[in-house]
Amino acid sequence: MHIFKNNFNLKKEIEIAKRKGYAIGQFNFSSLEQLQGIAKASKKTGYPVICGTSSGEANFVGIEEAVSLVRSMREKENIPMFLNFDHGKDFEELKVAIDAGYDMVHIDASLKTFEESIAETKKVVSYAKKKKVLVEGEFAKIGGKSSFTGEKIEKTVLTSIDKVVKFVEQTGVDLVALDVGNVHGIHAQMPELSLERISIFLESCNFAGVVLHGGSGIEKHAIREAVRRGVMKININTEIRKAWRDSVFYEMTQNEEQITPYKILPFAREEVYKKVKEKIEIFKT
């Protein structure tokens, strides 16, 4: 367990995780009680967390507001809590987040050609480094979306090893998001992780770490083995959303006369805390 001293640096936390053999969880939020639940889990477990906001989540919460909320909780609770802009599509969008004070940004250039994705990512990396902000890159699309579906996904288009090496070398990203059999969301049938591919990626590239998107719904044993093989960051969103939604729905249906948000939402905060804590326990293997 960490002894927190309120002098936090995400790059150092990633290096510590790599050395000690655990993964840092990214947990997305779009409400205060979700963020409070994430912070509580970090405080209770003694492990760092990355709070994520997608474009939609950032637009709802507010980019400056998200930065202020995470910073204030980090300082008040004395926890290594960081903020990442998840799946930013271009330089201009991420420049706003970098200037606002995000600790990390994720440039998802997977809809562009490979050469275009390298060029766009290099642009983001160049600007982010001036601000000491980390960059996560993604050039090959990771399928699915952060929701529950009845869809059966038996396999995915695994990211090319040769392209990963070229992408990392030419862009200088700190982390890279890969398709190793993972998908966003939880589906009626989930594909199996290609654990051997994770090992090959890490042997082929010299960078801070592999990011596993779509961590929701993956079996515990597969997650633990992925971490043992070197995955450094795992993203969870769908299970956080479900924990929040189920709690709010339950409380509102149990007491239909209750209309006071601060009497309903603490239950959602607690369920988010439980889910995040559960994931952290798995990620530390």
pLDDT band at 1 (very low <50, low <70, confident <90, very high): very low
CATH top class, domain 10-283: alpha beta
CA distances from 255 to 33, 242, 244, 252, 274 (A): 20, 20, 17, 5, 23
The DSSP element (H or E) to which 28 belongs, if any, is: strand 24-28
pLDDT in tens, 10-26: 999 999 999 999 999 99
Looking at residue 153, its pLDDT comes to 47
Catalytic residue, chosen from 86, 103, 174, 179, is 86
pLDDT digits (tens, 9 = 90+) for 217-251: 778 888 898 899 888 999 999 899 999 999 999 99
CB–CB of 183/147 below 8 Å?
no
* pLDDT confidence bin for 207, thresholds 50/70/90: low
- Rounded Cα–Cα distance for residues 173 and 134 (Å): 8
Give the residue extent of every domain in the chain. 10-283
Short-list 129, 141, 140, CA closest to 104: 129
Average pLDDT, the chain: 88
* Whether the Cβ atoms of residue 67 and residue 102 lie closer than 8 Å to each other: yes
Confidence band of 188 (pLDDT split at 50, 70, 90): very low
Give the global pTM: 0.90
Q: Catalytic annotation on 86?
A: yes
